[in-house]
Structure 1
Amino acid sequence: MSRFEELFTQHVATAFARQLALADRIGERDWQLDLTEGVVTFGEDLRYPVQLLGTESDGSGSHGSWLWAWANTGSNLPVHLLHLSEWLRGYGEQAGVAELTEASFPLERADGARLALIASGLTGRCYYRGPYDGGAVFFHLEGLPASLIEPVSPERAFLVLGQVIQAFPVDHRAMLLAFLGQQGWSIGEDGPGLVVGHHPGGSEMRVEFDEQGRIGRVSGQVQPG
């Protein structure tokens, strides 16, 4: 497993949970990004400062590519909107994560969603993917309500776990252990085949693994909040 894959596995579930919370908040509102002011507006009532991450270019066929915001010198992006992407570049240099330090690479290597989920896990922010003709811009939101980044309810934790293993090819056990730990659950392991998580509120999650180390069955009980 590469350093990038390890980092993604460690952060994907908690970051994905934040994205679900953000989706609950913004709903179906239209979005508008103002690079001069450095803010995004959702509908008529939600407005947040942003930090740019980068852009996906669709290209042709399978030739789409990612470009980090700090490397997008041709767009004259405001310097104050690049602090986060620069920080991630520095983190990548220290941690040996090439995908955070190389200016551009094919999407088949790492797409914007996976890069933004890692960034979310490292910084505690939510991100937004804004599509446009020929690609999409990814940016992180500042000043969101604390409830969007706090540990999720046990009900949401079960949902997140199921959606992550369906959406991403990750090490199931490593992802689960990282997620439960980050969310404040105590964790017990009964050999390679069973992990039991206990939520501070009394809920329990039992996760059974098959011989390939993949999640085979999830059960448990959720205590009323």
Structure 2
Amino acid sequence: MKKYLVLLMLLTISLTSYGSQLQNETEVPAQFNTLFYVSSEPDGRLSRDIKESQRDNGVILTNLNTEQYQGKHPLQALIEQYGGSSFEKQMDLEDLIVGKPWQIDMDEQELVFDDDLLCSFQLLGTFSHSTKTWLWAWANEQSDLPIDVIEQSFELKKYGEKNNIDLFKKAKFDATEDDLPIFGLIASGMFNSSGYYVANFGSGTLVLTFNNKEIDQIHKKNDTHNRVASVIPQLIANYDVNHYAAIKHYLLAKNYQITFDDGSKLIATKGNKQITAEFDNLSRLIGLKG
């Protein structure tokens, strides 16, 4: 059975821990103790199989109360809605931050890459390598985190409460490292961030979104019609999503106007540029022009 979460190398950024002493730590390093608390008790299970979402497993609630999500795994629907633009931005980040040392300056509330790339950030949550559990930042009461750096985490909780998505409402649950980029991908697209970062510090991993004006200028420079057309096949090749829904949401996010849409053919225009996508009866992409 095809698994739901498929990772793309471009999106799974291999991060350099800040300080070689973190590599063999089994506990949360002392210098991070004021930043977060990693949960130690497994609680629930994050299913990554779409068909598993047809059962209430204590983490994924299937009776979503929005028409858009009916019959879908919540993460699948959210990737379809927000994944395209976020996926595109991560492609721009490969040369900027891959392999670069990083640190978090809590006094300035900045994520710093290579001592000279300063970004404001939002902490979404933490993953414990020993217990394989995820803890949302909004539920991290023991670390006394500044409210300014966990606002997006609270917004995800509110979104989960409004749309009846237990994944965002449950404080902690079993997860895998493969799940972490998906959390970042969705949040980055939802909040229009410059990008997301999966920061492995040895005994655990942080997932953050961040903003930087210089990076935004790079995104703007690369925002071309040809780029959009090239992102589409990569997006659907790396995520188990409804092709039609994911492509339509991505084009709308890129400010294209949908000028024709009958479910099997989609025509989107922006200025004098046009993209035409054709689909089979299972909504799979079978033709792309543009």
Aligned to 1:136: 205
* Alpha-carbon distance between aligned partners in 2 of 1:27 and 1:135, rounded to the nearest angstrom: 19
SS in 2 for 1:84: helix
Aligned to 1:223: none
Aligned to 1:82: 150
Written as runs of structure 1 = structure 2, the 5 A alignment for 1:207-218 is 207-218=277-288
SS in 2 for 1:152: coil
Written as runs of structure 1 = structure 2, the 5 A alignment for 1:55-66 is 55-59=126-130, 64-66=132-134
Is the Cα–Cα contact under 8 Å of residues 130 and 137 in structure 1 kept in the other structure? yes
Aligned to 1:191: 262
Which amino acid is the alignment partner of residue 161 of structure 2?
A: E
Residues 111, 196 of structure 1: alpha-carbon distance in 2 compared, 3 angstrom cutoff:
same
* Alpha-carbon distance between aligned partners in 2 of 1:79 and 1:203, rounded to the nearest angstrom: 43
Shift of 1:185: 1.1
Aligned to 2:160: 92
* Alpha-carbon distance between aligned partners in 2 of 1:104 and 1:27, rounded to the nearest angstrom: 29
Shift of 1:3: 4.2
Alignment length (residue pairs): 216
* Alpha-carbon distance between aligned partners in 2 of 1:190 and 1:48, rounded to the nearest angstrom: 40
* Alpha-carbon distance between aligned partners in 2 of 1:46 and 1:8, rounded to the nearest angstrom: 28
Residues 209, 113 of structure 1: alpha-carbon distance in 2 compared, 3 angstrom cutoff:
same
Is the Cα–Cα contact under 8 Å of residues 66 and 106 in structure 1 kept in the other structure? yes
Q: What does the per-residue CA deviation read over 1:99-157, in whole Å, with 9 as the maximum and x for residues that have no partner?
A: 1111112326x822222222122211121111221332111213434435659211221
Residues 156, 28 of structure 1: alpha-carbon distance in 2 compared, 3 angstrom cutoff:
farther
* Alpha-carbon distance between aligned partners in 2 of 1:148 and 1:94, rounded to the nearest angstrom: 34
* Alpha-carbon distance between aligned partners in 1 of 2:128 and 2:280, rounded to the nearest angstrom: 39
Aligned to 1:127: 196
Residues 127, 18 of structure 1: alpha-carbon distance in 2 compared, 3 angstrom cutoff:
same
Aligned to 1:152: 223
Written as runs of structure 1 = structure 2, the 5 A alignment for 1:11-90 is 11-26=82-97, 28-59=99-130, 64-90=132-158
Q: What does the per-residue CA deviation read over 1:21-59, in whole Å, with 9 as the maximum and x for residues that have no partner?
A: 333544543222233442111113211122111122334
Structure with greater strand percent: 1
- What is the percentage of aligned positions where both structures have the same residue? 28
TM-score with structure 1 setting the length: 0.82
Residues 164, 59 of structure 1: alpha-carbon distance in 2 compared, 3 angstrom cutoff:
farther
TM-score with structure 2 setting the length: 0.65
* Alpha-carbon distance between aligned partners in 2 of 1:216 and 1:129, rounded to the nearest angstrom: 33
Question: Tell me, which stretches of 5 or more residues in structure 2 are unaligned?
Answer: 1-71
Decide which moves more: 10-19 or 140-149.
Answer: 140-149
Residues 215, 171 of structure 1: alpha-carbon distance in 2 compared, 3 angstrom cutoff:
same
